Amino acid sequence: MATAIHWLVAHAETRPGLDDVARAAGLAPSHFQRLFRQEVGISPKRFLQYLLGREASRRLAAGESVLDATYGSSLSSPGRLHDLAVTLHAMTPGELRDGGRGLTIHWGCHDSPFGPVGLAMTDRGICHLAFVGAAPDANAFRGTLQAAWPGARLLQDHARTAQPLTQFLGAGGYGPLSLHVRGSNFQLQVWQALLTIPAGATTTYQALASAAARPGAARAVGTAVGANPVAMVIPCHRVIRTSGALGGYRWGLNRKRLLLAAEGSLARGA
């Protein structure tokens, strides 16, 4: 589906029909329609309408504020990448000091509508979620985890790690998610503030700094945003520059555009 979304973004102005998009994805139209709706949460037609409407561009250019609870409630959506109650737990000082000694981390690599991801979790929640290569190397992802947590016990368990990803993307039962992350007190403040940004909306680094009670630390906030260990769930892709420019994104600006476009189309009732 990531390939299909990229193709739609690149060819939106030509107004391709279902047959055109399905052909680009190498699937029969009826099968592609079902698969796209299942994985992305909306129909290809609705996603194309959103792209043609340039709604994302308008919001980004306007620097729309999102740290407003009433606005957040107006953006609720039953689709994928919906707002979830997310609880953020910090690693204990002992776990940090000992490189995760005593922790068991389950991990696996999975497909998502926005590209393959690697997910790792402890018994207290997701500790790492990252986009990986088009042909994910499980050993490389395991090596990343081993370097970060040399004292932890790593167990590959695709069935177990698929559940929170499915829960987040919305294909299964909805409910709260727990995160178990390593970070400084400042980073945790910033990540907690990121969790207040509703799906389908954006904020600026300056506004995020104010939300984290550090109004003069926009640059430091940007560094903390970039250190986010849980892609998509802690929504660092929803932060843009005051000018309305997208700014940077660890996983690439094109993926950032796709995430914002998908969330925006869902939030507008797609």
Let me know if residue 176 belongs to a domain. no
160 within some domain: yes
pLDDT of residue 82: 45
Is residue 236 annotated as part of the catalytic site, yes or no?
A: yes
Q: Are residues 129 and 221 in the same domain?
A: no
Q: What is the mean pLDDT of the chain?
A: 78
Indicate whether 3 and 86 sit together in one domain: yes
Whether 268 is in a domain gets the answer no
Is 11 within a domain? yes
State the Cα–Cα distance between residues 191 and 216, nearest whole angstrom: 17
Higher pLDDT, 84 or 200: 200
Q: By residue range, what is the domain housing residue 129?
A: 104-169
- Tell me the range of 8-12, 149-153, 162-166 where mean pLDDT is highest: 149-153
Structure confidence by residue, pLDDT tens digits, 1-56 = 777 877 877 787 677 888 888 888 888 888 888 888 776 666 787 677 656 544 43
Q: Is residue 86 part of a domain?
A: yes
pLDDT digits (tens, 9 = 90+) for 46-99: 677 656 544 433 443 444 433 332 222 222 333 334 455 788 888 888 888 899
Sheet strand arrangement including 117-122: 86-90, 177-181, 125-131, 117-122, 104-110, 153-156
* pTM greater than the 0.75 cutoff: no
- Out of 120, 236, 239, 270, the active site residue is 236
Q: How far apart are CA 169 and CA 172, in angstroms?
A: 8
